[in-house]
Amino acid sequence: MAVPKSSSLSLVLAAVLLLVGCSSSEEESQNTITVFAAASLKDSFTEIGEQFKTDNPDASVEFNFAGSSDLVTQLVQGAGAEVFASADTNNMVKAEQADLVDGEPVNFASNVLTIVTAPGNPQQIASFADLTKPDVSVVVCAAQVPCGSATEKIEAATGTQLNPVSEESSVTDVLNKVTSGQADAGVVYVTDARAAGDKVATVEIAESGAAVNTYPIAVLKDAPQKDLAKKFVETVTGEYGQKVLSEAGFGKP
């Protein structure tokens, strides 16, 4: 039984479209890099990512923002990515010890902590020690997260022991607890406080210099797109990336 010409043409067209679709999907995958980055980098890296795509029109970048310790855990468990940017050196060292890093990590920024409260600072918090007032509910980062480790250093430097109502897995979660009214105050990075704008009031921590976090970035050893990964790192550490980070409140590494 002969197949009608119209049916034959339809089958050929469908096959061509399938091949084109597969080719397009494969090409897109080959030009996409995945960046695992600390939650505090979300706004800055999103902006830097747009510049990266402008400089590399055939490439795209996907981000996974979370607490640095969570990101390392994901990578150790086999998650695929091209670049890892940590909010401290400790978690980058963990990635190196797991043999995940290609070459030497590059320090590209630094950050310090500050206190955020509801607008107007209704609890009249003026210092880190004021966070221990019995009527003040405080939220901080968990100890394994860089912002949590830094908080512990300030506790040690000030001889102050906080009693937080919750310990979060990322600095953005701490900020959200305060902006949503679930806590009176939180300890976050100055960059997060700046990004929150008038949603919070900010109280400087005089002892913040006792806990400066340095941010390293590295290409990962099993990165499928190492050349593009290196270009992204160059965008972060180059003039444009450093300008974006500085405007966000990050310090020099």
Give 212-223 pLDDT, tens digit per residue.
Answer: 999 999 999 999
Within the chain, where are the H helices? 5-30, 42-55, 68-76, 89-97, 146-158, 171-179, 190-196, 226-237, 239-248
**With bands split at pLDDT 50, 70 and 90, how would you rate the model's confidence at 9?**
low
Mean pLDDT of the 126-153 span: 96
SS (H, E, C) 4-51: CHHHHHHHHHHHHHHHHHHHHHHHHHHCEEEEEEEHHHHHHHHHHHHH
Predicted pLDDT at 26 = 47
Helix (H, G, I), strand (E, B) or coil at 70: helix
Q: Residues with Cβ < 8 Å from 63, sequence gap 6 or more?
A: 34, 35, 36, 37, 42, 45, 46, 49
User: Which residues line the annotated binding site for molybdate?
Assistant: 40, 68, 171, 189
Q: Are 215 and 206 in contact (CB under 8 A)?
A: no
Does the pLDDT of residue 16 top 80, yes or no?
no
Does the pLDDT of residue 157 top 80, yes or no?
yes
Predicted pLDDT at 10 = 53
**Mean pLDDT, all residues of the chain:** 91
**With bands split at pLDDT 50, 70 and 90, how would you rate the model's confidence at 93?**
very high
Mean pLDDT of the 16-24 span: 47
Predicted pLDDT at 4 = 53
Residue 52 DSSP label: H
Predicted pLDDT at 22 = 44
**With bands split at pLDDT 50, 70 and 90, how would you rate the model's confidence at 96?**
very high
Window from 23-32, 167-176, 215-224, 227-236 with minimum mean pLDDT = 23-32
Does the pLDDT of residue 130 top 50, yes or no?
yes
User: Which residues line the annotated binding site?
Assistant: 40, 68, 171, 189
- Domains, the chain, ranges and CATH? 31-108+215-248 (3.40.190.10), 113-211 (3.40.190.10)
